[in-house]
């Protein structure tokens, strides 16, 4: 409901028109508005994806490196096993030769003994 105004109220309204703002008011307000802060480099899309790609690449490279080391260790272990087998094989051959040589001597001794008898 709109309430009627008397002369005094009308005069009051007339005198309470908006004032002029001080000179340069808008400029002073604008000066206080913080300049848009450049977003941190990390959050710019190109850099963000570059960082993500670098991290993934590092993880893949780390995995490959571990795989490579495992393969080298496997090779080394295989060579050691082969070496051990070779050593074992040659040792067995020597032992066998010695055994065979001992047997031959025994046979020749017993044959000689039987001939003498």
The contact set with other proteins (CB under 8 A) reads 1-3, 6-9, 11-13, 15-22, 25-26, 28-29, 32-33
Would you give the DSSP letter of residue 39? P
Residue 13 or 71 with smaller CB distance to other proteins? 13
Contact call for residues 116 and 108 (beta carbons, < 8 A): no
Coil, helix or strand at residue 1: coil
CB of 53 to other proteins, least distance (A): 34
Q: Are 41 and 49 spatial neighbours (Cβ–Cβ below 8 Å)?
A: no
The residue (of 21 and 46) whose beta carbon lies closer to other proteins is: 21
When the beta carbons of 17 and 39 are compared against other proteins, the nearer one is 17
Using the 8-state DSSP alphabet, how is residue 101 labeled? Answer: H
The distance of closest approach from Cβ of residue 10 to other proteins in the complex, given in angstroms and rounded to an integer, is 9
Contacts of 47 (CB under 8 A, 6+ apart): 41
- Residue 72 backbone dihedrals phi, psi, to 5 degrees: -65, -45
Q: How far is the CB of 48 from other proteins (least distance, A)?
A: 25
Please state the closest distance from residue 32 (CB atom) to other proteins, in A. Answer: 6
Q: How many Cβ atoms are within 10 Å of 84's Cβ, its own excluded?
A: 10
Pick the closer one to other proteins by CB: 20 or 37. Answer: 20
């Amino acid at each position: 409901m709109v309430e009627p105004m008397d002369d005094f109220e009308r005069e009051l309204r007339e005198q309470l028109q908006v004032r002029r703002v001080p000179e340069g008011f808008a400029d002073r307000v604008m000066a206080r508005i913080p300049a848009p802060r450049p977003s941190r480099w990390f959050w710019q899309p190109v850099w963000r994806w570059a960082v993500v790609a670098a991290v993934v690449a590092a993880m893949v490279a780390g995995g490959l490196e571990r795989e490579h080391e495992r393969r080298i260790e496997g090779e080394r272990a295989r060579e050691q096993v082969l070496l051990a087998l070779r050593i074992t094989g040659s040792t067995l051959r020597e032992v066998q030769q010695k055994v065979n040589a001992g047997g031959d001597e025994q046979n020749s001794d017993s044959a000689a003994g039987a001939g003498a008898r």
